[in-house]
Structure 1
Amino acid sequence: MKKIMVLLAMLLVLSTFAAARQTVVTSANEMKIDLLRYDPSPVQPGDTTDIWFELINLKDQAVNDFAVTLVEDYPFMVVSDKVVTFSSLDKGGKLQVKFQVEVNKNALAGSYNVNIQYNSRTAGTITSSPFIVSVQKLGSLVSASVDVTPAQGDAQRIAPGSAADVAVSVKNPYDSVMKDVTVKLDLSSSSMPFAPVGMTTEQKIKQINPGDEGRVSYKLVATPDATAGVYKIPLTIKYYDETGTLYNISDVVGVMVGAEPKISVTLDSTELTTKNKMGKVVLKVVNYGTEDVKFARIKLAEGDDFELLSTPESYIGNIDSDDYETAEFRLKAGSGTFMLPVALEYMDSNNKQYSAEENVEVVLYSPGELGIKSGSTWLYVLALVIAVAGYFGYKKFRKSRQKQ
């Protein structure tokens, strides 16, 4: 079983984040303040993040001339305007306010308080109850490993038309529990040649304790017409921490499609006979597998029964599936029948290197044996020519007699 390690760096791959909504109501029941989200998330030491709040007017009339201040407290330092002022908010009206903060680079992982100070002409200055913002150190990475076990063929890849078991492991490097973990493969793209067998693409893990690893399995089949190559399957991992905060981690896992090439070498033609021991030999290299071959080279080794008169190596290049290419050599034969030791080197579509050795038999026929075959052919051709000439000659003779 071949393990392909895929590192999912949360700093680079986090998508839309949804925080557990936190609500505070000012003491005068004038304004409801919700912590909506912080983005990017999770908040990390040394990074800058935007914290979004929503204000809702709870009074039966408009609130005029009010201000909202984010109270600066460790480990957060406000780098945007600390105070945001508004001229008016109608009854039941809503508005959003954003503060940009920088997290102290030496902050430890944990939950920290964030306070909002609200000031209006009617309510005066009120400091809210604290909101909770989680800070996580991502020195460790959430990692996923993919084990591909095809039902047949090479364990490093899935052959077109074959099924495979794909296992995804998720490790929890944090100090808190990962809850309700959802792992989903996105196979919706028309360019993705995979389909799940007997299951959905979404699998769940109830809980992953700190330092532990969770695992989900998929059975995938590659379409019969799948082109060989590495396919990047989008992967999404969602989980909740102990505070109920939802995290989304997105990345890709690479799964390889391909099969081992099938190559054979045969004798295509030869000029050698028992009388003419020096001449050309043409070898045919046939690709009878489903995998295309590239950068193919063929090389002849020295033998006791022949002498190589040309260069021993020939570059063939690419050989498509169900196709062939030829290579030509000049030899001097020593006996009636001998073997050509042939060495092949080539790559598949995924740049995996292959080599093979074969022995190709070369039989030298006598001129008499070859002459019987070629002479019979010429006799048939000569008879046909005489017959055609006789037919047209006869017609010409009859026309001349009729004119007389």
Structure 2
Amino acid sequence: MINLRVQTIIVALLLVLAVTVSAGTDDSVSESAFLVISVVSQTPDPASPGEEIELRVKVENRGTKAANDVELGLVPKYPFIMGEAGQSKGMGSVSGRQKGKDAVIVKFIVSTEGTAPSGTAELQLRFKTASQGWTLIDPLNISVGYREVPLTITSVSSEPEKSEPGKPFKIRFGIANKGTAEAVNIRARINITDSMPISGHGSTNEQFTSSIRPGAVANVTFAVITLPDAKSGVYRVPLLISYSDRSGRNYTLGGQLFSVAVGAKSEISAALVDSATLREGRNKVTIELINQGLGDLKFVTTEVAESGDYEVLSPPMTYVGDLDSGDSDTVSYDIFFMRQAHLKLTVNYRDALNDKGSAELDIPTRVYTGDEARKFGLEKSGSKGILVTLAIIATGVLAYKRIRRKAH
């Protein structure tokens, strides 16, 4: 770290007849111009090799006379690099007693060589005035060293939150720089394998960000699509991030997993089994439930609602359990029909993502009267039964007569 105690260079200029130079932190007031030059800040601190530095230098005049045409400059020297425009800064005149909050702040931008060794490097400073040419003064001590550049994932979101099979969606990541050095050439990659139900959609599975400054957050978006035959569920997808710092050091952020929720719309249908046998009065009604969706269902229950057209004689709620995609199951109820009716059936369940769902089904029925059933051959006439009964009676009468004859 830079030594934050004020590092001062005091230059006494006698602008009328002579010039004298002294060093120290003397706060006395001079009858001539008396410049005090000090380092205010170095950003970043320390500076990594190959990194840009913002250096702020304060110029105060503690004398009573003005210093005219003051110019402050940096002398190129390893391990620092600076452009021609950044080597010197003119500030005009510095009035007498111009100090403290009124002092002149001069900003320099320099860079360190990528091969700069860790430690303290000297940055040479010089000045000139209207009456004096360039003069070297004591160098400034600049701290150079590697700093960690930790990137972290601060947020993960998808749009929509739950993807449907065969539909595109977006995944967004927030990547934050928690360090004090700039991260550059950031590559974020989602590792999609054959076992995952997603694929890139209109873009690759790698995104590039040129830089993330300290304290900043970069948002990265991937366009993907869920495969048409994807089963509902939560899938874990790995994210890999590689990046560098300005000195060329490489970093890798691995072991990052995020979840993708795939949820197909539930599709449930119901139909009566052997519906042609329904009569007015009491019936045993069997209903077949069919899961036509791509997702499995669990904790399935059914409930028949009461109606003025029928009365449920058995318990109205039935527990079914699991109902996998493409499978069916049956439930039965004792129902007394007064007339034609539509059964009102409610199916409750949880899907593969454990979200609650329900379906309200309307099941039409055909309830036959006794005459209609006989008319359409659904129920045979009772004449045969009468003949059978008469035959039994006749047989009994004949047997009785034979017994009496034998008795006489």
TM-score of the pair, normalised by structure 1: 0.53
SS in 2 for 1:337: coil
**Deviation per residue, 1:148-200 (Å, 9 max, x gap):** 23xxxxx322222222222222122333322221101111x321222213322
AA aligned to 1:163 is P
Question: Counterpart in 2 of 1:201?
Answer: 205
What displacement does 1:340 show? 2.7
For 2:186, give the aligned amino acid. V
Q: CA deviation at 1:201?
A: 1.4
Instruction: Indicate the residue corresponding to 1:172 in structure 2.
Output: 177
Say whether residues 1:182 and 2:187 are aligned partners.
yes
Q: Which amino acid aligns with 1:148?
A: S
Contact 1:112–1:135 at 8 Å: present in 2 too?
no
1:131 Cα offset (Å): 10
Match for 1:157 among 124, 143, 162? 162
User: Which residue in the other structure is 2:300 paired with?
Assistant: 296
Distance 1:375 1:350, change over 3 A: closer
Please say if 1:369 is aligned against 2:372: yes
1:353-392 deviation line (CA, Å, top 9, x unaligned): 10222333333112333334446999xxxxxxxxxxxxxx
For 1:306, the aligned partner's letter is Y
2:262 to 257, 261, 285: 257
> 1:297 Cα shift?
0.7
Among 273, 279, 294, the residue aligned to 2:279: 273
CA contact (8 A) 1:269 1:283 kept: no
Equivalent of residue 156 in structure 2, options 142, 146, 166: 146
Amino acid of the residue matched to residue 336 of structure 1?
R
The answer (yes or no) to whether the contact 1:194–1:221 under 8 Å persists in 2 is yes
Secondary structure of residue in 2 paired with 1:233 = strand
Cα displacement (A) at 1:280: 0.9
The 5 Å alignment of 1:384-403 reads none
Partner residue, 2:291:
287
Number of residues paired by the alignment? 243
Greater RCO (Cα-Cα under 8 Å, separation 6 or more):
1
1:298-341 Cα offsets, whole Å, 9 max, x none, are 012333332221111111122233332211011222x2122333
Distance 1:317 1:375, change over 3 A: closer
* Secondary structure of 2:188 counterpart: strand
Q: Secondary structure at the match of 2:307?
A: coil
- Name the SS of the counterpart of 1:363 in structure 2: coil
SS for the counterpart of 1:368 is helix
- CA distance in structure 1 between the partners assigned to 2:318 and 2:118 by the alignment: 70
Q: CA deviation at 1:210?
A: 2.7
- The residue type paired with residue 186 of structure 1 is N
**In the alignment, residue 343 of structure 2 is paired with which amino acid?**
L
1:344 partner letter: V
**Could you tell me which residue of structure 1 aligns to residue 7 of structure 2?**
none
**Residue equivalent to 2:96:** none
Match of residue 152 from structure 1: none
Q: 1:325 to 1:167 in 2, by over 3 A?
A: same
Match status 1:342 vs 2:345: yes
Q: Secondary structure of 1:304's partner?
A: coil
Please state whether the residue corresponding to 2:374 is helix, strand or coil: helix
1:292 Cα deviation after fit: 2.3
Inter-partner Cα distance in structure 2 for 1:312 and 1:376: 29
Partner Cα separation in structure 2 for residue 314 and residue 204 of structure 1: 55
CA deviations on 1:9-54 (whole Å, 9 max, x unpaired) are xxxxxxxxxxx999xxxxxxxxxxxxxxxxxxxxxxxxxxxxxxxx
- RMSD, matched Cα: 3.2
Matches of 1:272 and 1:311 in 2, distance apart?
19
Following TM superposition, by how much is the alpha carbon of 1:248 offset from its aligned partner in structure 2, in angstroms? 0.9
Note if contact 1:236-1:248 (Cα within 8 Å) is conserved in structure 2. yes
Q: Highest CA radius of gyration, 1 or 2?
A: 2
**Shift in alpha-carbon separation, 1:249–1:266, aligned structure 2, 3 A:** same
Deviation of the 1:243 alpha carbon: 4.3
- Equivalent residue runs for 1:4-403 within 5 Å: 132=145, 134=147, 142-149=152-159, 155-187=160-192, 189-250=193-254, 251-270=256-275, 271-274=277-280, 277-333=281-337, 335-374=338-377
In 2: Cα distance, 1:170 partner to 1:339 partner: 57
> SS of 2:361's equivalent?
strand
TM-score normalised to structure 2 length:
0.53
The 3-state SS of whatever aligns with 1:340 is: strand
Matching residue of 1:97: none
**Offset of 1:232 from its aligned partner?**
1.1
Q: Distance in 1 between matches of 2:380 and 2:252?
A: 78
Percent same amino acid at aligned positions?
Answer: 28
Deviations 1:253-298 (A, max 9, x none): 1112221111123333455413xx1121112222222222222110
